[in-house]
Amino acid sequence: MLILSLILNGVVLGLVYTAVALGFSLVLGVSGVINFSHGIIFTFGAYFFWAMYQSIGYLPAMVLAPIFVAGIGYLVERVIIRRVYGQDPLFGLLITLGFAIAMEELIRMIFGPAAHNVDPPSFASGLLIIGDFVYSYYRLFIAGVAILMIGGTWILTEKSNFGAVVKAGMFNSEMVGALGHNLYKLRLYVMVLGSAAAGLAGILAAPIWSVKSGMGNAILMPSFLIVLMGGLGSIPGTLIGGLLVGLSISLGTLVVPRYVDIIPYLLMGVIVYFWPRGLMGQQNIIE
């Protein structure tokens, strides 16, 4: 029973990671920018939610906070990231890293260094008990929302016209521009959508990890790993990468509890050694 709940935990964790990593992966693919502000946007989502949910209720806050976060994503793209398009990826990485450092300190300045606890909503609290097996409803709720987010992204990129342009932009952005699509707008939309998704994931994670200023860093590196493992620009690959990271963390606590932090990194090292573009990666993206 322990194994089962660990596996389930790993899957839920993996789904949340995947939901965050998708935005990161799309921005990287379409804009060629390693967006290190993704983690802090995730944190912003959690903090906006924490500031609102007691006064306006759980669900309204869950809708409003991603909208605010999408606004932040819009501003970041307009003010910072658009300056580094077409330049060395290092510039993008450092500029967004600088922004993330500054914002983390701003959050610590305004809200203090302490962690804030958020209770799961009343409709998803309590425990699911089937015989010996006990599991919290809230984690199942998270899994449901994360699956909806991943499915939504999949439909958006695979089945819609917008998605076709996004995918084309990943392979050859100049050609997409030459065909008459506004490349800057496309990149902006992807950034806004990715930020909103990261914010929503931050809200979902808030009751499990508690809201604190460092929570963004804790999710940034796993998204990084997932993108490298799964392959850039592939949604199934990202899902596989996310599940691998989630499961390796969760099951790793059984085997080597002390070094559980580095298991996903080693796993990534092995995968990238044999599949240099990741498990499902395609050629010619950001190479």
The contact pattern for another protein, residues 94-123, with x = CB under 8 A and - = no contact, is: xx-xxxxxxxxxx-xx--------------
Least distance to another protein from the beta carbon of 37, Å?
Answer: 10
- The rounded radius of gyration (Å) of the Cα atoms in the chain is 19
d(CA 166, CA 30): 7
Structure token pair of residue 216:
């963004």
Residue 133's φ and ψ, nearest 5 degrees, are -85, 125
Residue 61's φ and ψ, nearest 5 degrees, are -65, -35
Residue 127's H or E segment, with its range, is strand 127-130
Least distance to another protein from the beta carbon of 90, Å?
Answer: 4
Of the candidates 55, 86, 127, 129, which one interacts with another protein according to CB under 8 A?
A: 86
Residue found under tokens 């493992």: 229
CA dihedral 247, 218, 50, 142 (to 10 degrees): -10
- Pick between residue 207 and residue 252 the one whose CB is nearest to another protein: 252
Site for another protein in 115-174 (CB under 8 A): none
DSSP 231: -
d(CA 200, CA 205): 9
One-character DSSP codes across 131-172:
TTEEEEHHHHHHHHHHHHHHHHHHHHHHHSHHHHHHHHHHH-
Q: What is the rounded end-to-end Cα distance, in angstroms, of the chain?
A: 45
Site for another protein in 190-209 (CB under 8 A): none
Residue 88 is a binding residue for another protein (CB under 8 A): yes
- Pick between residue 69 and residue 226 the one whose CB is nearest to another protein: 226
Site for another protein in 28-67 (CB under 8 A): 28, 32, 34
Residue 270 is a binding residue for another protein (CB under 8 A): no
Site for another protein in 208-267 (CB under 8 A): 221, 224-225, 228, 258-259, 261-262, 265-266
Least distance to another protein from the beta carbon of 220, Å?
Answer: 10
- Pick between residue 36 and residue 138 the one whose CB is nearest to another protein: 36
d(CA 260, CA 10): 13
Q: CB under 8 A: which stretch of 60-68, 78-86, 139-147, 176-184 binds another protein?
A: 78-86
Which residues are near another protein by CB under 8 A?
Answer: 28, 32, 34, 80, 83-84, 86-91, 93-95, 97-106, 108-109, 221, 224-225, 228, 258-259, 261-262, 265-266, 268-269, 272-273, 276, 286-287
